[in-house]
Amino acid sequence: MIDDLDRLIWDEQENDGMGFKNWTVYPNHPDLGEVEIGGWDPKFYSQNPPAKFMEKWVKNQALFNLEMVKHLPELAWDKIEVKKLRTYKKDSADYEVKVIYRNVGKLPTALRQADQVKIVRPDQVTLTLPESITGGNNPIARIIPEANTVVRDRPGVRRLTNSTTRNAGYAQGGAANSVSIVVRVYGEHVIEGKASVSTTRAGLLPEKSFTIR
């Protein structure tokens, strides 16, 4: 650990003694009267490098930031897979819509420490069907809620049944991530839907279309 003596020696040898000023009596402070002024320079020793070293460390910081940019997370679509899971006697069927996206950057879409202190949220995958086919008394299709999820309507709040958002965890650098959502289709219909991805640190993926047939 560097103590004050080591810092004083460095300041004298490397910084021309500019970082520390000997304590000196100042007799005419307007409020306090006689005081002493001196000590370490807070602006160009404690908070920032001494002026003569500033350019070097500003350059180093800039180069670090440019290198960091090369490692940031970056989202890209992989694909959306649609697979029939089961058929029911009442002329309906369940389809699994698997939304797959990639982090083509090097860092994850959020760091573990950021998650632990709760300043980020997991990646979010949103699946949306046309509202015209999911509403009314006889919907053509509907999104099946996640297991153990209880959906309650609140007075005065209209719940959208044509869209759902699911947590996808965090996509690691260079890896794919996915979420599977079940859609039930009543009768023989071709369903067009859209999916999107949003993250705290890596931004958004625009909507991508898929077809259930």
Mean pLDDT by 10 residues, the chain (213 residues): 83 91 92 92 87 91 94 97 93 96 97 94 97 89 81 51 94 97 95 97 96 96
What secondary structure letter does DSSP report for 5? H
Q: Please give the pLDDT value at position 157.
A: 47
Q: What's the CA gap between 106 and 5, in Å, rounded?
A: 43
Please report which residue ranges of the chain form alpha helices under DSSP H.
4-14, 54-71, 112-116, 131-134
The token duo for 55 is 């350019």
Burial grade of 90 (CB within 10 A; 0-12, 13-18, 19 or more): exposed
The answer to whether the beta carbons of residues 193 and 185 sit under 8 Å apart is no
The token duo for 156 is 């005065």
Q: What's the CA gap between 139 and 212, in Å, rounded?
A: 15
Whether domain 75-212 has CATH 2.60.40.10:
yes
Tell me the C-alpha to C-alpha distance, in Å, between residue 128 and each of 21, 32, 192, 211, 212.
67, 69, 9, 12, 13
Domains of the chain: which residue ranges? 4-71, 75-212
Q: Please give the pLDDT value at position 135.
A: 84
What b-and-e string marks burial along 58-75, b requiring 16 or more CB atoms within 10 Å of the CB?
eeeeeeeeeeeeeeebeb
pTM over 0.85: no
Angular region, 102: left φ>0, alpha ψ -120 to 50, beta rest: beta
Q: What's the CA gap between 76 and 52, in Å, rounded?
A: 45
